[in-house]
């Protein structure tokens, strides 16, 4: 049985901090608490408009948190240069639009243009392992492999946030994406919109090796506390994997 990692996205700890300014709550401290509670890694998304995570947050997490950091970023010159400087162990290339509330879907690798291939090559040259946040579409997954990505992260938002009656169809689509990643020789991660109610179905997909969870996990921590929520997710993942 392959191990399944939980990466905790701390972006919205920074969102709460930024609502009042100042330094509290601190995403670096949240990262430390999440790792102590059993999380396997930390995910941060440095957006163009710096709406939540700031440059210094990312630099501190990279320097102070021993667990792997996954740097989510748009494929732009600014972000590639930033990643080349701090050299995170992992980077996930995501689509980004200034007006969106959150990432709205997978990156369109087929129509992304030549800079995406250059970004992947530069990141790999900096010893950064590159994944691409992508829809469960075989053509997109094959294109990700063709430009040099080592992994994909399947967009689970349509499954997790859509109608419950549609979940079997969406799970079948995601499972087909997992199979396409395997055929392409890519590692397979998953994330977006997952909660207590939806994580288990994804965790049962044996080829998925990492799940990234942010908004629900951080929001639920207001009621239960961050260590409790992290441990509950780890327990749900372990139970689904054993099943």
Query: Which residues does the annotation mark as catalytic?
Result: 45, 72, 192
Residue 9 and residue 126: Cα distance in Å, rounded? Answer: 23
The closest of 206, 126, 227, 141 to 177, measured between CA atoms, is 141
How far apart, in Å, are the Cα atoms of 83 and each of 36, 55, 117, 138?
A: 26, 11, 15, 28
CB neighbour list of residue 20: distance below 8 Å, 6 or more residues apart: none
Cα angle 36-239-204, degrees, rounded to a multiple of 5: 110
- Taking the CA atoms of 243, 38, 233 and 151 in sequence, report the sign of the dihedral they define: negative
How far apart are the C-alpha atoms of 43 and 111, rounded to whole Å? 26
């Amino acid at each position: 049985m392959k191990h399944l990692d939980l990466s905790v996205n701390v972006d919205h700890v920074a969102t709460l901090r930024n609502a009042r300014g100042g330094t509290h709550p601190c995403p670096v401290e949240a990262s430390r608490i999440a790792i102590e509670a059993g999380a396997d890694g930390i995910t941060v998304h440095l957006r163009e408009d710096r709406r939540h995570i700031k440059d210094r947050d990312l630099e501190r997490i990279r320097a102070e948190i021993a667990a792997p950091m996954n740097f989510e970023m748009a494929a732009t010159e600014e972000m590639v240069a930033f990643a080349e400087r701090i050299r995170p162990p992992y980077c996930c290339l995501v689509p980004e639009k200034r007006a969106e509330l959150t990432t709205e879907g997978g990156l369109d690798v087929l129509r992304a243009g030549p800079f995406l291939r250059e970004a992947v090559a530069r990141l790999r040259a900096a010893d950064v392992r590159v994944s691409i946040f992508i829809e469960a579409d075989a053509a997109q997954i094959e294109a990700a492999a063709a430009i040099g990505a080592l992994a994909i992260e399947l967009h689970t938002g349509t499954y997790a946030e859509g109608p419950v009656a549609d979940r079997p169809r969406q799970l079948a689509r995601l499972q087909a994406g997992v199979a396409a990643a395997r055929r392409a020789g890519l590692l397979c991660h998953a994330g977006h919109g997952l909660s207590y109610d939806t994580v288990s179905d994804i965790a049962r997909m044996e080829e998925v090796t990492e799940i990234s969870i942010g908004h629900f996990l951080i929001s639920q921590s207001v009621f239960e506390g961050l260590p409790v929520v992290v441990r509950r997710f780890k327990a749900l993942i372990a139970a689904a994997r054993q099943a």
